[in-house]
């Protein structure tokens, strides 16, 4: 009885440790996408154009992208528990600054702080998964981690839309700050950096010079192709799902505001279902590339229909957005591949490099799409969102299915790892 209890505790501990890191990623995500359901309120509060709103949202991504390589190098060398605790507090501070901002630049500072701290969330969760679980589960855990982020984004859509309507956008952001402070407490109390058997590997990583770690990743052509794939596949979710989707559905397709928020949130709900299925399936198949290719192809087809169908009913939008989310999960498979094509001492750096690419394209597209909407509409000044028409959105968002098509191109150059880590997948591919 006692021995069984001990075994249960040992089995549960990795899930708790990974789960708390993933919970921070989940919470970061709904802070990340919250502006997408606050656009009219933010427009009124700060009196900016569509391009200005895109720029405000993109202030999350500037530090997020810039910090990815440093984050990978840092988490390969320092305590993940301490890093995540401190970053949870910084995220809370960012939410408070955003909530209290009287002018646009202070709101941008709040978004900057949220993006800076969020840069540590995903890679830390993946590093803990790689440390605490056997390699055979890495595909599943990568998809589960990304799935929790997508579910966080779903919380950042319809439910936050209702909160904003009920208590206002400033109070909603203050409530998020309270959540992050609470999360910091639990991370500090429960997360452990690695099991006893990991000490030797961890020590080898910390002894590597920083530039050596970085060079080991950057000299690997596979790391670049995987990163490009992740960037192109995730760009439509970042650009549409995290910012412009609600506005497109409400003002381009003339759905109600809450219906538009719910429809856009279905991207992330679809991810919540498709992510674990994809992770289980890729591990079960013993292959990565087929699901990566299918994900890119489905994204190109579904986005083309969603944007350019002459008529689109609410239920058709629900189905298309749900299917897009459910099949966009190839990006999570790419994270598993990025860990498999590099040596263990640098997997944090490797996954951070891929994560940087997965958001950098979307980060660029958010303000670019806003700019193209302004150019096509001919407004060029701060006007209500209702001034924009369907053709204005189409003139800007045609880029999104092109990104998925570029993801298909990238898969041509990605080698199949057969779900095996660096030593067996690349040095002995026929084994």
Long-range residue pairs from 96-104, CB within 8 A, at least 24 positions apart, any chain: 96/173, 96/174, 96/177, 98/173, 99/169, 99/170, 99/171, 99/172, 99/173, 99/174, 99/177, 100/170, 103/46, 104/46, 104/48, 104/52, 104/56
Angstrom distance (rounded) from CA 431 to CA 424: 7
Q: What is the DSSP string of 195-226?
A: -GGGHHHHHHHHHS-HHHHHHHHHT-HHHHHH
> Is the distance from CB of 52 to CB of 43 less than 8 angstroms?
no
> Is the distance from CB of 81 to CB of 188 less than 8 angstroms?
yes
> Is the distance from CB of 242 to CB of 32 less than 8 angstroms?
yes
Angstrom distance (rounded) from CA 90 to CA 84: 10
List per-residue pLDDT tens for the chain, 431 residues long: 444 444 444 468 888 989 899 999 998 887 887 887 787 888 888 887 777 777 787 788 889 888 888 887 788 778 889 999 999 999 999 999 999 999 888 999 999 999 999 989 988 998 888 788 877 777 788 888 888 887 887 776 667 888 888 888 899 899 999 999 999 999 998 888 777 665 555 445 555 676 777 788 888 899 999 999 999 999 998 888 878 898 899 989 999 888 998 898 898 888 888 888 888 888 888 899 999 999 999 999 999 999 999 999 999 999 999 999 999 989 889 988 888 887 777 777 787 788 788 878 887 888 888 888 888 887 655 555 667 889 999 999 999 999 999 999 999 999 998 888 765 444 444 43
Angstrom distance (rounded) from CA 152 to CA 115: 15
Angstrom distance (rounded) from CA 265 to CA 162: 13
Angstrom distance (rounded) from CA 182 to CA 109: 23
Domains parsed from the chain with CATH numbers: 2-425 (1.20.1250.20)
Phi, psi of 348 (to 5 degrees): -65, -45
User: Does the global pTM surpass 0.95?
Assistant: no
């Amino acid at each position: 009885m006692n021995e069984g209890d001990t075994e249960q505790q040992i089995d549960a501990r990795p899930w708790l440790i990974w789960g708390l890191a993933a919970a921070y990623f989940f919470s970061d995500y709904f802070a990340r996408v919250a502006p997408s359901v606050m656009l009219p309120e933010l427009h009124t509060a700060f009196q900016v154009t569509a391009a200005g709103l895109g720029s405000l949202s993109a202030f999350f991504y500037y530090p997020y992208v810039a910090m990815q390589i440093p984050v990978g190098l840092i988490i390969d060398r320092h305590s993940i528990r301490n890093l995540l605790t401190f970053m949870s507090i910084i995220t809370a501070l960012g939410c408070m600054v955003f909530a209290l901002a009287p002018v646009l630049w202070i709101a941008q500072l709040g978004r900057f702080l949220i993006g800076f701290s969020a840069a540590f969330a995903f890679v830390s969760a993946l590093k803990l998964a790689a440390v605490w679980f056997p390699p055979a589960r890495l595909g599943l855990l990568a998809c589960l981690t990304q799935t929790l982020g997508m579910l966080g984004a779903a919380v950042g859509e319809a439910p936050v839309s209702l909160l904003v309507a009920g208590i206002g956008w400033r109070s909603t952001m203050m409530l998020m700050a309270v959540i992050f402070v609470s999360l910091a407490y639990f991370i500090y109390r429960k997360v452990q950096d690695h099991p006893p058997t990991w000490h030797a590997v961890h020590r080898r990583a910390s002894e590597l010079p920083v530039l050596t770690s970085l060079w080991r990743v950057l000299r690997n052509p596979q790391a670049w192709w995987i990163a490009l794939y992740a960037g192109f596949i995730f760009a439509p979710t970042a650009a549409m799902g995290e910012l412009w989707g609600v506005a497109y559905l409400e003002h381009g397709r003339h759905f109600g505001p809450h219906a538009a928020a719910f429809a856009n949130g279905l991207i992330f709900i679809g991810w919540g279902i498709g992510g674990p299925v994809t992770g289980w399936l890729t591990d079960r198949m013993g292959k990565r590339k087929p699901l990566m290719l299918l994900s890119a192809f489905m994204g190109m087809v579904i986005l083309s229909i969603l944007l350019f169908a002459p008529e689109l009913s609410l239920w058709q939008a629900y189905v298309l957005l749900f299917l897009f989310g459910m099949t966009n999960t190839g990006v999570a498979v790419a994270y598993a591949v990025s860990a498999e094509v590099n040596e263990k001492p640098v997997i944090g750096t490797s996954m951070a490099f891929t994560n940087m690419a997965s958001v950098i394209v979307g980060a660029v597209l958010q303000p670019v799409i806003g700019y193209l909407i302004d150019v096509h509409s001919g407004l060029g000044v701060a006007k209500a969102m209702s001034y924009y028409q369907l053709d204005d959105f189409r003139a800007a968002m045609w880029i999104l299915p092109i990104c998925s098509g570029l993801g298909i191109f990238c898969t041509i150059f990605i080698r199949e790892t057969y779900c095996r880590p660096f030593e067996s997948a690349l040095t002995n591919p026929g084994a």
